Amino acid sequence: MDNFIITLLLYVVGRSQQILIFEIGSFVTALLSILLIKRGSSALKAMWFPIFFLLFMIPLPGTFVSLLTMPMKMAVSYVAENILFWANYPIARNGVILQIGQYQLLVADACAGLQTLLTLEALGLFYLNLVHHTSVFRNVALAILIIPISFTANVIRVIVLTLITFHYGDAAGQGFLHGFAGMVLFLSALLLILGVDTLLQFFIKKQPMNVSQLAAAK
């Protein structure tokens, strides 16, 4: 009951002072409190993943987001530039601005920001919950590898937008195909998650064989 009262106070403070992290976060803590009061710890154990998944809807502080977003955009811009340069495209970079041919593209927060990373991380964790792997190593490894997978998917999106703009003009890059590149982002992330998961499965299956071979050698 004390937790529920604290949650209500948190919501009042967040609502009155327009602090979204308090206002939205109080919904998660309220759900936790109600489950504990009505059903006990057993219900909390059964519902841990849906409640944990709700944490992704809590907005992070703007200062924290800005602090991490710029280095991420710089890294995505750098990798995209080098890949397209290696592919013999006339591209140059100034910070997070890509110059390809006569066109300039700004790598925005939506293309390579922290919020995109968190969205893809949520997608990967949702996938893990659906497949229900019994291997702890496989679950932990895939959850960690989702971070570089998300970065790779962001690079793919920026490259796709850059190529669309270069070949079809600025109007095409900012129109319907811009939204299509967003679908490419999540599709490529999902394919990469499936591919990495398959490799982890192959690695886990090979481990017992290696152990038995060592035993036979001894």
List active site positions.
Answer: 111, 157
Distances 119 to 32, 110, 148 between C-alpha atoms, Å: 23, 11, 13
Closest by alpha carbon to 65, among 115, 120, 116? 115
> Under 8 Å CB-to-CB from 46, ≥6 apart: which residues?
none
User: 116 by DSSP, 3-state: which?
Assistant: helix
Sheet strands side by side (includes 103-106):
91-94, 97-100, 103-106
- Nearest CA-CA partner of 193 in 110, 122, 101: 122
3-state secondary structure of 106: strand
CB 103 within 8 A of CB 69: no
Please report which helix (H) or strand (E) contains residue 94, including its range: strand 91-94
Asked whether 73 and 109 are in contact (CB, 8 A), the reply is yes
Nearest to 28 by CA among 46, 45, 3: 3
Neighbours of 33 (CB within 10 A): 19
